[in-house]
Chain A
Amino acid sequence: MKKLLIFLAMTLFLFSSCELFMEEPLMKGKIYTVIIGLDYENSSHDNLSGTLNDAKELIETFAAVAERDGREYHNYPMIQEEGSVPSVSSFPSNYPSKSNVEYNLAAIKALSTEDDLTILTYSGHGVELSGELVFGTTDPDSDTYMDVTELLSLMGEIKGKKLIILDSCFSGMAVQSSPSSTSTILDNSIAKFFATYYSAETYRKPDLFVLSASAHTDSYEDSFPSTVDHNHGYFSYALLQALGWDHPHAVDLTTVTPGYPPAAKGGRITVDGLYQYILNHQGIDSRFKIFNYTGFHQHPLTTGGALDLVLFSF
């Protein structure tokens, strides 16, 4: 019996030593962010009142988180706000047209290395059922829509780890199904679980993750707090909180110092950590409720599979 216990202890030590003594490949390259917000006030689309607040505050928040992580930070802000449409000749521009987004992502592609992290956030409209993103236009004849697969493809070409954060209606369409697991939000069938297990598609360690505000429904915005005329998307407001942004509104954003991100666990912020925080703190039901019907619900989604991505470590 004593020998058996010694054998078990040795085995456990041998196994656990893998993580204790192997050199850890921590991602300590640069951080690139492309933060997009559109209020559509110069277009035929419905105006949105929270998207610019989402984008402007995310810019400050990611800068603070990157600084806390001790990593070099480069931001490509792309905000469309009330003003006139800039001319095409002003490229590269921070105007969130489809071509400018493609231009900026191509620029990051040229600069990025395998140690870098690129985050794209989008606060704007999503087209019903397809989830297509709706960009501003610098040319009345150009296409203002971007299919989610096109965005995934552009981000996929960038080296290093990537995260797409979408606060738009039907943004769950950008979350590709995992070859090894099935979203119970979209498909809760045991037959589907078995079909996934026996499918020929194989799981690969993903370097591109998606975090979406909604699954296959609309996403919503509201004023935060309710007594102040300062709107956000429910999802983005919870995301900002998760990253440590919690401040009185109507102040100069550059003077605000975000606090320690409450979504960090053990000094690390992961995609799942953000997802869990948002799910627990968003000010709207995540599921349809029969006995407490409010009419609105939105359920965030994220990339499935066995692994969670570490974004920042402090």
Chain B
Amino acid sequence: MRRIPLAFLALLLASTALLPAHGKINYALDVSDSYYAAIPHFADEIPFRSSNATSISIGAIGYFEPSFSASLDLTALFVTPSIPFGNYQGRGFNSVGFRLRGSYQFNPVVGIFASIGNEVNYYRTIKEAFISFSIQAGPQFRLLDTGMHTLDLTIPITIHLRKEITAPMIGVGMRYSLAPYTKEEKP
């Protein structure tokens, strides 16, 4: 079981070492806030329970071309307890995980992005953990691009796949990317 993370780490280190030589490596910081609708797979008093989800991601390693980029993001997610309804309330949790993310720019302003991820989640109050998977996609709007720095407004639509719950999320976010080996564009 430990071989997989070790192989993954080796691949990550190799990529980190090789990509700067080509000048196409970037790093990113992604923050978003979403509405979290927990749709239960079990009989409940309500079709879904509402929470707020705040996500912070760090693009640990990324590769980019003029209209395409790919990155490996380390992600943290903070989900509040649900709005109390009836005799139950959905528990709040934190999660950490990683996402493989790709994006494509149709033109200098409009693009799309998509990602898949895997997380370990932790119910803050009761100290219980569980695994989840997630898929995410959405449009992005480039607000700033200097070559070295880019800033995108994102509208992430996420499906959080838990064992007993499927949770669609929709929100708004910002993604800042830094390409340290790229020269600033001339005006």
Which A residues fall within an 8 A CB radius of B?
Answer: 1, 4, 8, 11-12, 15-16, 18-19, 22, 24-27, 161, 178-185, 188, 190-191, 193-194, 196-197, 202-205, 266, 268, 270, 272, 275-276, 301-302, 304-310
Please, how many angstroms separate the alpha-carbon atoms of A178 and B126 in the complex? 12
Q: Which segment of B24-32, B45-53, B60-68, B177-185 sits at the interface? A: B45-53
Task: Contact check, A270 vs B89: say whether CB atoms are below 8 A apart.
Answer: yes
Q: Which residues of A contact B48 (CB under 8 A)?
A: 15, 18
User: Do A309 and B88 touch (CB < 8 A)?
Assistant: yes
> What DSSP secondary structure best describes chain A's contact surface?
mixed
Q: Which 10 A-B pairs have the closest CB atoms?
A: A203-B164, A181-B128, A181-B130, A197-B131, A304-B128, A180-B164, A25-B86, A307-B88, A272-B125, A180-B163
Any A CB within 8 A of the CB of B116: no
Cβ proximity bits B2-44 to A, threshold 8 Å, 1 near / 0 not: 0000000000000000000000000000000001011011111
CB distance from A307 to the nearest CB of B (A): 5
Within B70-119, which residues are at the interface with A (CB < 8 Å)? Answer: 81, 83-91
- Known contacts A18-B46, A18-B48, A203-B163: A275-B84 contact under CB 8 Å: no
- Tell me, in angstroms, the Cα distance from A37 to B155 when the chains sit together: 57
Q: Would you call B170 an interface residue if the criterion is a C-beta within 8 Å of the partner chain's C-beta atoms? A: yes
B90 touches A307 (CB 8 A): yes
By beta carbon, the residue of chain A nearest B139 is A4
Query: When the two chains form their complex, are residues B46 and A19 in contact, meaning their CB atoms are under 8 A apart?
Result: yes
Measured between alpha carbons, how far is A275 from B120 in the docked complex, in Å? 23
Known: A12-B35, A18-B50, A306-B164. A182 touches B128 (CB 8 A): yes
Name the A residues within 8 Å of B172 (CB-CB). Answer: 8
The number of chain B residues with a CB under 8 A from chain A is: 45
| Residue pair A26, B164 in contact (C-beta under 8 Å) | no
Chain B hits for A180, CB < 8 A: 130, 162-164
B42 contacts A275, C-beta separation under 8 Å: no
How far apart are A11's CB and chain B's nearest CB, in angstroms? 6
A182-B129, A190-B120 known; A15 vs B37 contact (CB < 8 Å): yes
Name the residue of chain B whose CB is nearest to the CB of A4. Answer: B155
Known: A203-B163, A307-B91. A24 touches B131 (CB 8 A): no
